[in-house]
Every structure is written in structure tokens, then in C-alpha cells.
Structure 1
């Protein structure tokens, strides 16, 4: 390490779009490179490799397929990469990445930083292999402590994406939609709670038939959710737009953004919805309240409660001044959701890990 510059090696399973942990890792790596650090990503490769290369981030292929022979070969390959590239820190973003990186870091005496992006997975405890463990929200930090990760090795760095390199040059043109529009952006699988929104919207639509619901995203339950919407009285007011490479234009064209998740450690979609100026409704789970300023920047409702979603929608749809106020509220302390803040706080974690280098790892509860 020379002066304040570092050599940082990120390890993650792939660099494809439409995965929140990938977006977070790519944003961080590019911000670190812009700050003058030498940065590389070892992964299975994917959509963002061209962007990473253009930003000056080195990309290296590391197979993450969960087959014993493949993992053994990849762990050895990563060990050799660490010896050759000589990073100051290695930063692993998923469980397999942490397992692959741990032996090489131990042998080389290099701190391993892990970020817990998906605390709802049982295997997230493997992130405790890190010298220091980053939780993407306070709720994730509490969850990891409950699983046996010592508080002394945990740091909370709240997710933020505003100002990231992925967003530069994007057209800030709203998608033209029939208004008022309620928007959902996310994967179409049970954890995101879309059926709760469909039922809640159906209730609200009975009082406000001018309202429209637009669903952006795709996933394994897409056909089931389309069929579910088709059986509701509000069916003609619901549009499934499919996956979009950049849903920000849809957010700019929407009035209300709803995230009805049952579990969501710190969804990056919320900073973007707030940046777009939507009034935001989110469930009281995991990192969602923290990303909504604990209710100052968005309306928080109980999870799995379509009636509560309906009441919040009706409050906004029935009173233009209330809708306007919550759209303005979405901007409260929005500077806290920038990638610059994430990068600086992560640098502080690296500094603590380097200061602690050589101290034995605490026991890991498996």
C-alpha cells in the first residue's frame, strides 16, 4: 500500500445485470478506481465486464460453479492470483466467494472483507470467514450477530447507489404512463411480496379507478402473478412491463413506488426510486425502514398486509397535497444514499482490518 492508495481485489460469483449484489459490487469497485486505487474483480464474468474495463477495473475469470472439483481448482487459482496481484485487501461479496478467498488470504496474511448482501440465506453465516464483516443495513448486522458473528468484527455500511458509474449518461426522460401510476420494480418471486401489492391495489382501485399499476421485472413466478392479476377486478389497470435494463425512466414517470417485500436486506431500488422523486411505500422488514429514513422519507407498512398497502395508496391517491408532500419527503437526507458515502465508509472498514491484521479470527458459529 502506497500512501492512501490501495490494491483492492473484489471476488463475486458473476457480473451480470439484475442482481443487487452485483450492482453494489460494481458500483463500489468503479468508485474506488476513480478515487485512485488499483482495483480488480475476479468473477465468473458477465454483462458489466465492458463497463468495468472502461472504468479501469481489471477483470479476471474465476469459476464459481458449486461443484467440488471446480471449487477446489478455483480456490487454488485465486490463491495464485492473490500471490501474483498482491492486493492489500480481498473483498468477497457472496458466500462461495468468501469460501474461495479465505485460504489464500490466510496464507498470504491479507485481510478478507466480506459483505452480507443476502442475510436471509442460511449460508450467510459463512461470511463470518471475513476478518471484518460488512452488513448492508443495521437489520442485517443484528441478524448476523444473532448467528454468532461478533459485534467487534461487524460494520454496517448502508447500501447506496446514487451517483454510481452505472447511472451516468442515462437518459433522464420519464416513460410516458397513464397517471396516477403506482410502480413496482423487482424480481417476480415470493420474497418480493408482489401478491400483497396486487391485492392491495385491487382494494384501492375500487375507490380510485383512475389509478394504474405498472410492474417492471421478471422471474420464475411471472406467469403465476400475471394470472393472479387477471382474476382481479382491477385487471385492466395492471400492466406487466417485463424486465428493463434501466428502470429509472419508469420511476421518473411514476407517482408512487411500492416495495412490498417479505425480506429485503437493503434493496438498491429504493435509493433510485427516491432519487426519481416518487412517493415511496415500503414494508417494515430488514433494511427497508433504514433506507426510508425510518419513515421520514417514505411510508412504512407492515409486511404481508394488503389492507395496509391499500390504506396507504388511498391516502396518497385521494389527496394530491398528501402525494405531493410524500414526493418531497423522498428527498430527505438523500445525500446519505450516494456511492461516494459507501466508498468512504468501506475504506474505513479496510483501514480497521489492516490495523487488526495478524489478530486471530473469532470463533465462527456454523
Structure 2
């Protein structure tokens, strides 16, 4: 969703293996420096992280965070991802080696790996193909690949899920419902592993962001994410029709780009909706901090970055109660049924008319965010899984 430059990254403390010093008599022979201590008392662990288009922006931010923490701990990290993802998230700057996601590059990277970690089911299948014939443990993180498709595509998706779940040494589900799904698909070891994303930097003057959008004396609503069908934007525009009668008239801004842009633009113009499509924005975190409400109408990412950022920043959130979102936000957001435009419209209208309720929701959101695992916790959990796999007999 928001690239690394917008989030900012926390500094990671490097784990150091204790050194034992031994005093020796003075000798005329040349003095050589000892070899650098290696983590775990053995050569550096070599990991390959596989990303694809299905991992979502939250998956890319998660891998960037993992790469930073793992590299700081002496782990050698290679990220195989689309070139565009490297441009947005700068995995190389996090201390990882970047390889484009071409099949030949992926096979070469996996050939020298101790652990391959795929992010998303489709990335897991690509990793399986690259690992064919190699006894390298595969870890698959299920971040959510969007809503299930119907018909033949749905059957193919379930087949891929079964193959990946059964082949993975460990499946890490970002929410409890994904852990249950992995077990249903045949995973022999599925665990809950909440995804932590980097905290956003302190925002600039919110008034400046509002002035740049021309929002003076009116409420500002924000949604962030690619313009894709599962994001729920058609439902959001249905709700926005009701807001045209409000005084003052709120402005809804949507930061993101995608295949639905033309369709949404036509609706906004034809129906005179108080909605503006901003396209891809590097300052989405700053815009969020300036908003009166954040809106998450879709599905697909159980630990949606927008939900995490809004609750951390104390921006009241209205979200669809679907997937892992209720588990993530707890009492820290106003939840509405997925796909229910009247419920979404009514909840937003009521919150805009009730500043005390918004303040209460903001406080509850901050409290909920304080219960989430940190980036350091996430890296530690992943490292413990890798260590465990290194101790297992190779199958």
C-alpha cells in the first residue's frame, strides 16, 4: 500500500555472538584478525523470499521489514520479486540481495538457499516449481490473496492452495481464519503469525495536507489501496451518494491505482459524487493523518495496512467486518457488514455528526494497536521457525 519511504523503518539492533578472547605470547609473526562471528555458531543462514503480484502491498511492506531485521541479525536474504516492487520498497536498501522474479533467476536463487519463504499462495506455487527435486524447507506466509473466485478459477485456486499447503514445511497465517483454511487444505503445520508493518513517521502539519486537497471547513474521508474489485470501491461509491445531502459536504479521497479507475471515474462524474481519485500517492500516510475518518470497505488482506496505520494514528476507522479484520481491530473500529452500502453510509454519517464518538473510537484504536506484535517480535518469530527447520531432518 504505502511504500517504505512513507512508512519509515525502525532501527534494528544487531544480534552479536559473544567473543572469547585468549591472550597469547608476543610473536614476531604477522597478526591476523579473527574471522567475523557467525550467527547461531555456523555459517550465515541463507534465505530466499518469494513475492508475486498476489502478495499485496502489505506483503511487500512485510518482506521489506523482515529483510531489514533478518539482515541485521546476520542472515543472508535474497528477495525474488517483480522489478516494480524493488523500485517501490527498496529491498536492496534493507540489506537484501534482489533478483527479478523470472523463473530462471528464482531457480538459481533457491539452489543455494537453506530456507525458501514464499509470501502468498501463488508465490508458494512458484517456489515449489523452482525447488523441484531439492530438499529445501519451504515456509509459506498466507497474507490473503483476495476473495475466492467462482467457477473454474475458484476450483483452480483451491487446488493451488491444497498443493502449497501440503508441500510447505510450515504455513504462517496472518489471521486465525487463514490458519484454519491452511489446515483445511492439508497443511501439516499451520501457525498464527500476525504481520507487523513499519510505523509511519510523525506527520507534517495536517492542515497543510487538507489545504493542498482544497478541504477547508468540511470533513475529509480517506480510503487507501489499489483500485481492484475486491477493495469494495463500488460499494463505497454507493454509500457516497447518500453523503451528497450532507452539510457541510464531506470529501472522500481514494489513494491508489488499478484496473477499476476508468469505471470509478465514470461513476463519480455521472453521479456527481463527492469523491476524488488521487492515484498512487507516496504521502498516503500524511493524508491519513489529516483525515477525519478512514474507510476500509473491501477484503483481501487480513491485516490491512490501512487499518493498522489508522488505529496507530488515532484516526477513526470504519471497516467491513470480513476476514481477519475484526480480529485485528477488536473494539478499535466501527465494523459494518461487507457489501452493505446503507450500513456503511449510515455509520459514516453518524460518526461525522458525533465528535465524542470519534474521539472515543480513536482512543480505542490506539489501545488496540498497542496490543499488536512489533516488527522485532515478527522477525523473532520467523527466525525461530527457521531455526526449528534447520534442526529437522530434511525430507
TM-score, structure 2 normalization: 0.75
Does the CA-based 8 Å contact 1:315-1:322 persist in structure 2? Answer: no
Question: What secondary structure sits across from 2:90 in the alignment?
Answer: helix
Q: 2:122, 2:46 → 1: CA distance?
A: 18
Deviation at 1:116, TM superposition (A): 1.5
Change (3 A) 1:306 1:33: same
- Answering whether residue 264 of structure 2 is matched by residue 261 of structure 1, we say no
Change (3 A) 1:173 1:138: farther
Deviation at 1:354, TM superposition (A): 3.3
Partner of 1:343: 379
Change (3 A) 1:137 1:211: same
Stretch deviating more after TM superposition (15-24 or 300-309): 15-24
Match of 1:130 among 140, 148, 168: 168
Question: What secondary structure sits across from 1:330 in the alignment?
Answer: helix
Does the CA-based 8 Å contact 2:303-2:325 persist in structure 1? Answer: yes
Partner of 2:139: 113
Partner of 1:289: 326
Deviation at 1:186, TM superposition (A): 1.1
Stretch deviating more after TM superposition (50-59 or 110-119): 50-59
Change (3 A) 1:107 1:257: same
The 5 A counterparts of 1:39-54 are: 39-48=77-86, 51-54=90-93
- Answering whether residue 252 of structure 2 is matched by residue 213 of structure 1, we say yes
Query: Per-residue CA shift, 1:12-57, capped at 9, x if unaligned?
Result: 2469997332222122111222344332223343353683323322
Partner of 2:98: 59
Q: 2:244, 2:391 → 1: CA distance?
A: 57
Deviation at 1:274, TM superposition (A): 1.9
- Answering whether residue 177 of structure 2 is matched by residue 139 of structure 1, we say yes
Change (3 A) 1:109 1:192: same
Deviation at 1:202, TM superposition (A): 2.3
Deviation at 1:79, TM superposition (A): 4.5
Deviation at 1:224, TM superposition (A): 0.9
Deviation at 1:280, TM superposition (A): 0.5
Query: Per-residue CA shift, 1:201-220, capped at 9, x if unaligned?
Result: 32244244432211111111
Deviation at 1:104, TM superposition (A): 6.6
Deviation >6 Å, runs of 4+ = 15-18
Match of 1:80 among 101, 105, 111: 111
Partner of 1:364: none
Match of 1:278 among 309, 315, 323: 315
Partner of 2:346: 311
Match of 2:58 among 10, 16, 20: 20
Stretch deviating more after TM superposition (204-213 or 315-324): 204-213
Partner of 2:286: 249
Q: Rg: which structure is higher? A: 2
Stretch deviating more after TM superposition (13-22 or 208-217): 13-22
Query: Per-residue CA shift, 1:41-75, capped at 9, x if unaligned?
Result: 23343353683323322223441xxxxxxx4x456
Does the CA-based 8 Å contact 2:39-2:73 persist in structure 1? Answer: no
The 5 A counterparts of 1:235-246 are: 235=273, 237-246=274-283
TM-score, structure 1 normalization: 0.81
**Cα-Cα RMSD:** 2.9
Deviation at 1:355, TM superposition (A): 4.0
- Answering whether residue 226 of structure 2 is matched by residue 161 of structure 1, we say no
Does the CA-based 8 Å contact 1:15-1:47 persist in structure 2? Answer: no
Q: 2:373, 2:283 → 1: CA distance?
A: 18
Deviation at 1:254, TM superposition (A): 0.4
Q: Which runs of 5+ in 1 are unaligned?
A: 64-70, 361-366
Partner of 2:5: none
Query: Per-residue CA shift, 1:236-257, capped at 9, x if unaligned?
Result: x322211112410110110110
